Structures are given as C-alpha cells and as structure tokens.
Amino acid sequence: MKLGCIGDDFTGSSDLANTLAKQGMRVVQYSGIPSRDADAGVEAGVVSLKSRSIDPVEAVAQSLKALEWLRAQGCSQFFFKYCSTFDSTPVGNIGPVADALAEALGADRVIVCPAFPGTGRSVFQGCLFVNDRLLNESGMENHPLTPMTDADLRRWLAIQSTFPVGHVPAQVVFDGAGAIKGALDAEHAAGKRHIVVDAIRDEDLMEIGDAAQDLKLITGGSGVALGLPRNFGCSPCTPDWQGQTGPVLVLSGSCSKATRAQVARHVTSHPAREILAEDVIEARITPAGMLELALGAGSLPLLYSSSDPDVVRAVQDRFGREEAANAIENFFADLAQCAVAAGVTRIIVAGGETSGSVVEALQIEDLTIGPEIDPGVPALRAGPNLVFALKSGNFGTEDFFSKAAGVLGP
C-alpha cells in the first residue's frame, strides 16, 4: 500500500476512494480498522471511521490506531479526510486529530484544504465557500451536529488545534506547484504547522497535489487528493462494475439542504414514509414495522427522518442533541439489518453519520469502488449480493435517489 487514508465518516471516505479510483489507484474502503492485512495490490487504503462527532479524545485514539495499521501496510504518505464543509465544532474533531497525526508522523507542514470545486466548495482568502455563499450562510450553520458558524478556516481551526495555523493564498496557488512549495516552506519557517491552502479550481488542486509529493500528511476533502495518484505513477481510469439486481431501499437520516430537496422530489413519485424523531425516541414505531410498510408500497421506497432546521431544533431541545441523533441512527441501523434479512440488495443512504451506522450495523469489512453517481458519490460493492450508495448530506442532484438506483443495477 502506498497511500494510507483515514476518513472521519463513511460517505466522506467513499468520496475520497472514488477520487483516487478515478485517478487510477487500486483502492479499497475499509469499514473501521481492519483486523487483517490488506490484500496485495491495494495501492490506497481508506479506513473509514465514524469519528467526526464523537468525543475528541476517542477520535484521536481511533485515528492513531488507523494510522498504525496503515503504517504497517507500508504506506509512505497519509491523508486525513474530513468533510468539504469542514464539519467540526470548536472542540474538534479536525484540529485534535490533525495535531495527533502530525505529531505521530513528524509532519511539519500539513496542508489543510477542504476545497471540492466539483460540488461548489472553494477556499479563498482562507475562507470556505459553498457555491456563492460563505460556509456560515450556506445552511451549514443549521447542521444538527456540527453547526458551522464561521467560514474562516484559519480562525476555526486555530480554536481546535494546539499548533499555529498558516495560509497559502490563491495568488500563490495560481503560480503553480513550485510557488506553493515555497509558500509552505515560508509558513513553516514562520512557525506554522497546519497551513490552509486556497483552491477554487481543479487545476489548483492538481498543483497542490504536485507540491505535496514529499509531504507525509495531507488533510482535506477529497478534492485535494485529485493530484496525489500521479505522484505514485497512476493515471485516470474507469473502475470495473457489475450491476446488482434485486430490491432497493432508500434511507435518509440527513437533514441537510440538498437531501431535503431530494426527499421532497422523491416523495412526489415514489412511496415514502417519514420517520418522526418523537416516534423513534418514545418507541411508538419499530424498524421491522416501518420496513414492512415501505417494501410493500411499490418501487424505490424511501424512509426518511430528514426535517427542516426548526423541527430538528425542537426535537433537540426536547430530547437532547446526542440522544436524538443516536436514537435515529440506531433506528436506521436496525432498519438496514432488517432490510438485508428481507432480501434487499441495493441500499441508498443519505447522511454521513447515518451511513456510518448502517455500514457498521451490517458488519461490512470492506467496500470496492464502482462508477460515480454524482460528484463525490460512487457506487460501492460490499459483497456478492449487496451494493450501496452512501451520500453525504449536501451532495447529489435532486433526482439522486432514482439516479443512484439506476447506477447500482438494472
């Protein structure tokens, strides 16, 4: 293995695996830290953790364990993947994990770049934009677990990290890899360790990738991984894929703006059942019962808890943020188990945390990467009769659910 990656959630990890696969690397996404060595021939391993919203101390411990496994596989470079909307709180977990990985690897210039131009995320003047809005005006300020209230990555990361945060501005990035390298060196000389690097176009990410050739640790969204495979002699290709037949189920525990639009669109032409947080928490419904209703209702059924921010806030005020999130995640996890037991072979999940719960509950060890459904979302194969699409909240076009079902199989 050449490139060792640690993802702080499952959808983000498949996004990264997708980017690396498209750029020609042989990639496997692992669910958690594998208990055995990787198969020979795997060039990039993506260890997916569910560490974005857990206690920072635990997130650091899991990330260091993942690093240890990747080091044992022979990797020469490491990547810490977090969300392209920098999902984190003032206490973590991006800063503490990046600090710990940098220390463990002796990395003194650590790129911080969540840019993903293909999905409208750009970093300019140290600030993160979602399309034409600053991050904190993009809807992400209402995220149920990691409300993003500041778009300035230098300021937000500085609160979380013990290291000084530097910056390489777009004007330098536009001058190419040599200039970026020089600027990283200058920031290092000025005592900075984490260095936010601006990027607004894929070309910028390719140059940053070139500049990162000798760096031990890179952190960011999947975009900044675009330029890494060619440092390992890989070139773009299309992954192999065999479509999967059989029943499909769509599960949505994401309350992000794009997901809510996808749900609104899907319910107009497909069977759908809303899962109310109160009903889950007060045990008025069961996963088996909801599944039965969904599967009996017609093609491409959707079960969703996706709600508007004011509804989510009311639930959180009443039951507690974590309690509500855990109850709903566990409900989706149980639903997925019931679905597989009932013969469902294609599962589409919206939501990073939600996807993590589902994949963990199904005890899936690794996933191979298929074709891209929408930017950042690949089809995934988990076994001979089970395929997935795991979608981060804000990814995908409005018709994502039916599009994903079509890509997963006939």
**Pick 62 or 354: Cβ nearer ligand ADP:** 354
Q: Verify binding: residue 14, ligand ADP, rule CB under 6 A.
A: no
**Pick 84 or 368: Cβ nearer ligand ADP:** 84
Residue nearest to ligand ADP (CB): 393
**Pick 126 or 352: Cβ nearer ligand ADP:** 352
Q: Verify binding: residue 392, ligand ADP, rule CB under 6 A.
A: yes
Q: How far is the CB of 148 from ligand ADP (least distance, A)?
A: 11
Q: How far is the CB of 147 from ligand ADP (least distance, A)?
A: 11
Which of 18-26, 138-146, 176-184, 374-382 is the region at the interface with ligand ADP (rule: CB under 6 A)? 138-146
Q: Verify binding: residue 376, ligand ADP, rule CB under 6 A.
A: no
Q: Verify binding: residue 130, ligand ADP, rule CB under 6 A.
A: no
**Pick 109 or 257: Cβ nearer ligand ADP:** 257
Q: How far is the CB of 330 from ligand ADP (least distance, A)?
A: 9
Q: What b-and-e string marks burial along 26-45, b requiring 16 or more CB atoms within 10 Å of the CB? A: bbbbbbbbbeeebeeebbbb
Q: Verify binding: residue 305, ligand ADP, rule CB under 6 A.
A: yes
Q: Verify binding: residue 396, ligand ADP, rule CB under 6 A.
A: no
Rounded Cα gap, residues 314 and 200, in angstroms: 37
Q: Which of 312, 333, 364, 407 binds ligand ADP (CB under 6 A)?
A: 312
The values of phi and psi at residue 117, to 5°, are: -55, -35
Strands 377-383 and 386-391, bridge-based pairing: antiparallel
Residues 226-255 contacting ligand ADP, CB under 6 A: 253-255
Kindly compute the dihedral angle of the four CA atoms of residues 68, 73, 74, 76, in this order, to the nearest 10 degrees: -60
**Pick 233 or 320: Cβ nearer ligand ADP:** 320
Which of 34-42, 62-70, 140-148, 205-213 is the region at the interface with ligand ADP (rule: CB under 6 A)? 140-148
Q: Which of 118, 221, 351, 370 binds ligand ADP (CB under 6 A)?
A: 351
**Pick 144 or 166: Cβ nearer ligand ADP:** 144
**Pick 10 or 30: Cβ nearer ligand ADP:** 10
Q: Verify binding: residue 92, ligand ADP, rule CB under 6 A.
A: no
**Pick 130 or 208: Cβ nearer ligand ADP:** 130
Q: How far is the CB of 206 from ligand ADP (least distance, A)?
A: 27
**Three-state secondary structure readout of the chain:** CCEEEEECCHHHHHHHHHHHHHCCCCEEEEECCCCCCCCCCCCEEEEECCCCCCCHHHHHHHHHHHHHHHHHCCCCEEEEECCCCCCCECCECHHHHHHHHHHHHCCCCEEEECCEHHHCEEEECCEEEECCEEHHHCCHHHCCCCCCCCCEHHHHHHHHCCCCEEEECHHHHCCCHHHHHHHHHHHHHCCCCEEEECECCHHHHHHHHHHCCCCCEEEECHHHHCCCHHHHCCCCCCCCCCCCCCCEEEEECCCCHHHHHHHHHHCCCCCEEECCHHHHHCCCCCHHHHHHHHHCCCCCCEEECCCCHHHHHHHHHHHCHHHHHHHHHHHHHHHHHHHHHCCCCEEEEECHHHHHHHHHHCCCCEEEEEEEEECCEEEEEEECCEEEEEECCCCCCCCHHHHHHHHHCC
**Residue 78 in contact with residue 101, Cβ under 8 Å?**
yes
Q: Which of 15, 43, 187, 329 binds ligand ADP (CB under 6 A)?
A: 329
**Residues in the chain, how many?**
410
Distance of CA 231 to the CA centre of its chain: 23
Q: Verify binding: residue 352, ligand ADP, rule CB under 6 A.
A: yes
Residues 45-84 contacting ligand ADP, CB under 6 A: none
Q: Which of 205, 217, 315, 367 binds ligand ADP (CB under 6 A)?
A: 315
Q: How far is the CB of 84 from ligand ADP (least distance, A)?
A: 11
**Pick 353 or 374: Cβ nearer ligand ADP:** 353
Q: Verify binding: residue 353, ligand ADP, rule CB under 6 A.
A: yes
Q: Verify binding: residue 358, ligand ADP, rule CB under 6 A.
A: no
Q: Verify binding: residue 324, ligand ADP, rule CB under 6 A.
A: yes
Q: Which residues bind ligand ADP (CB under 6 A)?
A: 143-145, 253-256, 259, 277, 305, 307, 312, 315-316, 324-325, 328-329, 351-354, 392-393
